[in-house]
Structure 1
Amino acid sequence: MEGKGIFLVGLLLLSIADISTAQNCPKGSPKLFVFGDSYVDTGNWPKNVGGPWKEPFGKTFPGKPNGRASDGRVLTDHIASFMGIESPTPYQQRDTSKSIQQGLNFAYGGSGVFPTWAKDSLTVQIDQFEQLLKENVCCQCDLDSSVALVSTGINDYSFYSAAKKGSNDGLPAFTEGLVNQLAADLQRINRLGVKKVVVATLPVIGCLPLHVIPPNSYQNCDEESNKNAKIHNQVLQKAVGKLNTDDGNKNTFVILDLYNAMASAIDQFRRDAANTEHKNPLQPCCSKTVEFICSAEGLCSNPKSSFFFDQAHPSDNGWNVIYSFLQGSLNNDLKA
């Protein structure tokens, strides 16, 4: 009987603790958790390495380098704005609980689903997120109303191409393995408590300035690279569909169609070329690079008029136009 009384007292104490936690937990405070590469990294790249922490990055916004691979905003900033919150603090810049009120950005430029040139693969980024949850530093209260944004894969294909010296031998099997791992990572994020997981498709890789043909002509997209990106996106679409079916909720995992948004944005830029200073969307504002990093020497006179800032990344203006083509699907999928 005495043992039963101790058990009931323990149960009562647990219940009181649960009620107290619930009362201290602000409900409905959306947060954005970001995972991926330089398309969404807002400052995790080491400052002592340079890269997006050096001029001319950040020239348009905020007027100085701030860790974004652009002259201004990147995809993360637009998604955060859509959610009505400030862009989340980069993981490497977190310091106090106040710095994670909008969520956290774990994305790392140069990273991929698999290990590439950068140390922090998608798996490592999710490990960092999980560790913060275990330490109760972050966010368990708000996960139900929060969103995870995942944008990755470009560097995996670049790394694969470099290893294969440009050959596509074995590419279908590589794509299948890559998407399988990506799907497992998306599911893991969801199981950690984030109820809405948004994953971006690959963009029109063949239209990135570093892939245009002939090289340095900035005239034509490489359709072979675009075809490979489409295949990846089709496999991803199928994998995400299966995740939703298995989850019993068709809206948990959401595809963000970056491919068609970027393609449409480039087409619009071409149509409006007569009214813009920068006539060719495929020609980057920053045409001179040192070890693939933009150099201030050779920068165009007005980055605000360009579509691509450097050989691989849209400019602030480019992301603005891309976002305009994403808004419809965001309205449908994130407000559903």
Structure 2
Amino acid sequence: MGVALALSFLLCFCLHGVSSGSPSFTSLFTLGDSYIDAGNFVIMAPPAVPVWHDKPPYGMTFFGRPTGRLSDGRVTVDFIAEQFGLPLLRASLLNSSSDNVSKGVNFAVGGATAIDVDFYERSKLVQFKLINNSLNVQLGWFEQLKPTICNKTLLGHRECLSKALFFVGEFGVNDYNFVWNAGKTEDEVRSYVPKVVKNIVMAVETLIKEGAVYVVVPGSPPNGCSPTMLTTRSSLNKTMMYDHVGCLSDINRVAKYHNSMLRAAIDALRGKYSHAKIIYADFYGPIITILENPSRFGVAGADALLACCGGGGAYNWNASAVCGMPGVKACKDPSAFVNWDGIHYTEATYRFIAEGWLHGPFADPPILSALRY
């Protein structure tokens, strides 16, 4: 997304905003991983775990400083918050007494999994101690904070949550990455999809039973297009198969399988909870749309799969020189890149995704249309 096109998206974003007389959400609560983390990982990481995204050039585009977000600026839920006149959510673990939590809280943590982390440790799929940040843990944080959230509204719990917008996800990428990185086959990774989807659905159901009415459930992005996976997986296996845009076919097939199972599960939930508005947010389609038509979005074709901020290599991602490390520089114009740091996306990409979730075509139903009925 070049600068001119990014500005046109911003203009469209503002023109389509909710008018003062339109119904809106009172608050926004998000559970997820590093795609929407606003700083929880920085707070949770033990001293032995290196953290680089709390250093420049993270945050360079919008905030002018690192905020704990893994991007050059805002992420999807920031644009969603702005659409409804809500504050950009702070990390839940900041524990600031001045925070008005009734307007929303961001519980997301980088590296979070749908399956509890002790499963991966017991199964020897990882050789290191994981941070306890799974979906169930985040749900527990929400439960602990719920009395404070609802007391500030002077309403009952169910009523105070009925006009809130909840995000559950994205979850799954980290689960599958642990299995991929353990050297498992595509079929072995696929075997984890039902359990991942089941845990996501259980979380959505828990929130609805607590009084949530509007719940957005993002699917998996095309992780086979990420510079990290393209670099690490390709170095392990020189016979890797690539799709028409140069992404790893096996990883993206698993992502699509996850998304199809998640959509079917959401359909079942809609039948069970007819009063709820459960929105499937397509995280895969918008990324592929840009990669298939890079010039339309101001992205040079040769740069479409490269990280904006990185330490070199075929995809500008190098494990020994990642974004945030001393001497590692960002590209001059992040809006002309899809990927920011090898895993996460640029603010311009997140803006495009958020627009597609709000208005369509990348949400079923679009968030704004769900609010009208």
TM-score by length of 2: 0.74
Q: What does residue 285 of structure 2 align with?
A: 260
What's 2:132 paired with? 119
Cross-structure match for 2:194:
176
Change (3 A) 1:156 1:137: farther
- Residues 253-301 of structure 1: CA distance to partner in whole angstroms, max 9, x if unpaired? 210111112212333434345xx57852211111225568423514323
Indicate the residue corresponding to 1:242 in structure 2: 268
SS in 2 for 1:147: strand
Which whole-Å deviations, capped at 9, do the CAs of 1:151-197 have from their partners, x for residues lacking one?
Answer: 2111011012223x142343343111111111111111121222111
Q: Could you tell me whether the CA contact under 8 Å between 1:206 and 1:222 is conserved in 2?
A: yes
Structure 2 residue identity aligned to 1:34: T
Q: CA deviation at 1:46?
A: 2.2
Pairwise CA distance, 1:314: 0.6
Say which of 207, 211, 233 aligns to 1:193: 211
- Residue 252 of structure 2 aligns with which residue? 226
Distance 2:295 2:248 in 1: 17
Matched position secondary structure for 2:221: coil
Matches within 5 A, 1:105-116: 105-116=106-117
The structure having more radius of gyration, on CA atoms, is 1
SS at match of 2:280: strand
Say yes or no: does 1:46 pair with 2:71: no
Structure 1 residue aligned with 2:17: none
How far off its partner does 1:323 sit? 2.6
Q: Does 1:331 align with 2:368?
A: yes
Match of 2:334 in 1: 303
Q: How many residues align?
A: 306
Q: Deviations over 1:215-238 (max 9, x none)?
A: 49x971112211111111111011
| Residues 40 and 335 of structure 1: CA distance in aligned 2, closer, same or farther (over 3 Å) | farther
Paired residue for 2:303?
A: 280
Q: Return the alpha-carbon distance in structure 1 between the equivalents of residues 114 and 320 of structure 2.
A: 23
- Residue 206 of structure 1: aligned partner: 224
Percent of aligned positions that are identical:
28
Specify the code of the residue in structure 2 equivalent to 1:56.
Answer: P
Instruction: Map Cα deviations across residues 72-106 of structure 1 (whole Å, 9 max, x no partner).
Output: 11111122122221222210123226431421000
The one-letter code matched in structure 1 to 2:287 is M
Is residue 45–residue 52 contact of structure 1 (8 Å, CA) maintained in 2?
no
User: For residues 304 and 278 of structure 1, do their structure 2 counterparts lie closer, same or farther at Cα, with a shift above 3 Å needed?
Assistant: farther
Judged with a 3 Å threshold, the aligned counterparts in structure 2 of structure 1 residues 97 and 138 are, in CA distance, closer, same or farther, namely farther
Q: Which runs of 5+ in 2 are unaligned?
A: 1-22, 118-129, 236-241, 312-317, 361-365
Q: CA–CA distance in 1 between the matches of 2:330 and 2:24? A: 44
1:129 aligns with one of 142, 153, 159:
142
What RMSD in Å do the two structures reach over aligned CA positions?
2.8
CA contact (8 A) 1:211 1:221 kept: no
Letter in 1 for 2:294: F
Alpha-carbon separation, structure 1, partners of 2:292 and 2:370 = 25
Q: TM-score when scaled to structure 1?
A: 0.82
Pick closer, same or farther for the CA change 1:188–1:280 going to 2, 3 Å: same
Q: Is contact 2:294–2:301 with CA below 8 Å preserved after alignment? A: no
Distance 1:272 1:233, change over 3 A: closer
Instruction: Specify whether residues 31 and 160 from structure 1 end up closer, same or farther in structure 2 by C-alpha distance, changes over 3 A only.
Output: same
The alpha-carbon deviation at position 134 of structure 1 amounts to 4.2
Deviation at 1:54, TM superposition (A): 1.3
Specify the code of the residue in structure 2 equivalent to 1:85: L
Note the C-alpha offset of 1:149: 0.7
Q: C-alpha offsets along residues 1-50 of structure 1, whole Å, 9 cap, x if unaligned?
A: xxxxxxxxxxxxxxxxxxxxxxxxxx986110000101111121225753
